[in-house]
Structure 1
Amino acid sequence: MRCPGPADGRLAGRLADALAREARLWKAPVFKNGSIQGTDILACQQEEVILWLGRLSQTFSFCPQTFALAVSILNRLLASVKTQPKYLRCIAITSLILAAKVNEEDEVIVSVKDVAVQSACNCSTAEIVRMERIILAKLHWDLYSATAVDFVHIVSSRCTSFTFH
């Protein structure tokens, strides 16, 4: 039996805040005829670059929240801007770098130059820095949005607040 308490209100408030923020910020890419609407990027290309980001996130020992946020940044940008496939890897690696800057400890973050070399993304450091400015401008400097990992943390917190008699 659950004993309601003050934690219930705080957790419900956190969940409501996360949902409101998601509704305000989240724009999902719309797929039409196998590609992202408004771009020349195919669904399989987006899937491939997300899998690549997952491998890179593991290579750099980033936390799962960083990977989830990178995918969120990538998808929000693809939903907002007409993009060509030749820029997809640059956008993806830059999304990962920005997500790491938000979520990771300073000593874990790898330099942009090292990321460019180790990822084999075929982007120069200057191109990644330029893409950072573009992404920040297009997303109005608001990088953080609720991710699936946030939801898991909220539900986990909620589950641990149960007590049995």
Structure 2
Amino acid sequence: MIDTVTGPVVQPFAAQLKAWMDQEARYQPKLSGLRLIESAQDNGLRMTTKMRELEVKDLLSLSRFFGFSSETFSLAVSLLDRFLSVMKIQPKHLSCVGLCCFYIAVKSSEEEKNVPLASDLIRISQNRFTVSDMIRMERIIMEKLYWKVKATTTLHFLRFFHSHIQEQLDTDGRKVLSIERLEAQLKACHCSFVFSKLKPSLVAISLLSFEAHDQHHPEHIGKISEALKCLQKQLNVKDGDLVSVRELVGKCLAEYATTKCSRPNGQRLRWIISGRTARQLKHSCYKFAHLPTIPESGF
């Protein structure tokens, strides 16, 4: 039976943090498997970091096309990285694996009425495999992940930390850190392989730290920095590690903002859909570019 993603149980911050930190270690992709991908040569015979990054960008496009939640996309990336870290797959199977991870995440996070048919997903994503192929691959993925879909993702930590910091600020101070902007930045980081090797909690606090340093609100930055410092101590994160990952975040967001990164294949994907599917989709689904622009201001 698939365990589904549920909202956090209301309990004291320290207790919730400990529970999520314990779960984080159990659902972290295996570093040994990720390093094999990282060391692979780009000869079309083995999975590479570039292939994984392009697949995640396609999943982001699909997620925005259907109007799915950030939870769905973040979970899909988590499932994909966990599977790739334990299985050596051939590049020709990556699109099927990616779409299956996405479909598992959709069925786990979205309302049943919003879950599309597998056949529509295949057609829209322009893949050539069949529904039967998806069913077989989905079962393989679930077996290799021991049927454990539920995981504490970077998004969970980001929202959790953001809410905790907001509680310590006044009304004006709460406008400095926009959760919408932070989530958009996280999606960009998900598209970069380097963050797959890092703990979700570390990536989350690094995003918050980067955003706090990037904003120019001297009257509030002191209080935010104090809250971040306390959080860093609770996470037992070293200053050097935080600075290093914060720099990675800055580099990733700078690259993401370039035209080349926004159009990795040199053109927008051409979605192919049936008339029935088109009638069921929201009109806003047609307005998104391949990768969304990160908002410059949260207010």
Regarding TM over 0.5, the answer is: yes
Number of the residue aligned with 2:119 = 113
Percent identity (aligned): 29
1:157 Cα deviation after fit = 2.3
1:153 is matched with which residue: 159, 164, 167? Answer: 159
Number of the residue aligned with 1:3 = none
- Per chain length, whose mean CA-contact separation is higher, i.e. which structure has more relative contact order (CA < 8 Å, sep 6+)? 1
Asked if residue 128 in structure 1 is aligned to residue 130 in structure 2, the reply is no
Counterparts of 1:17-96 in structure 2, within 5 Å, are 17-28=19-30, 29-30=34-35, 31-34=37-40, 40-96=46-102
Q: Are 1:35 and 1:43, in contact at CA under 8 Å, matched by a contact in 2?
A: no
Task: Please report the TM-score for the alignment, with normalisation by the length of structure 2.
Answer: 0.49
Question: 2: distance between equivalents of 1:84 and 1:24?
Answer: 26
Question: 2: distance between equivalents of 1:150 and 1:40?
Answer: 32
Amino acid at match of 1:12: A
2:12 is matched with which residue: 3, 10, 24? Answer: 10
Q: Are 2:80 and 2:97, in contact at CA under 8 Å, matched by a contact in 1?
A: yes
Question: 1: distance between equivalents of 2:134 and 2:86?
Answer: 19
The two structures, once aligned, show a CA RMSD in angstroms of 2.1
Q: Are 2:75 and 2:153, in contact at CA under 8 Å, matched by a contact in 1?
A: yes
1:130 Cα deviation after fit = 0.8
Structure 1: runs of 5 or more not aligned: 1-8
Question: 1: distance between equivalents of 2:145 and 2:137?
Answer: 12
SS at match of 2:77: helix
Question: Size of the alignment, in residue pairs?
Answer: 155
SS at match of 1:80: coil
1:147 Cα deviation after fit = 1.4
1:84 Cα deviation after fit = 0.7
Structure 2: runs of 5 or more not aligned: 1-10, 171-299
Amino acid at match of 1:80: V
Question: 1: distance between equivalents of 2:40 and 2:145?
Answer: 25
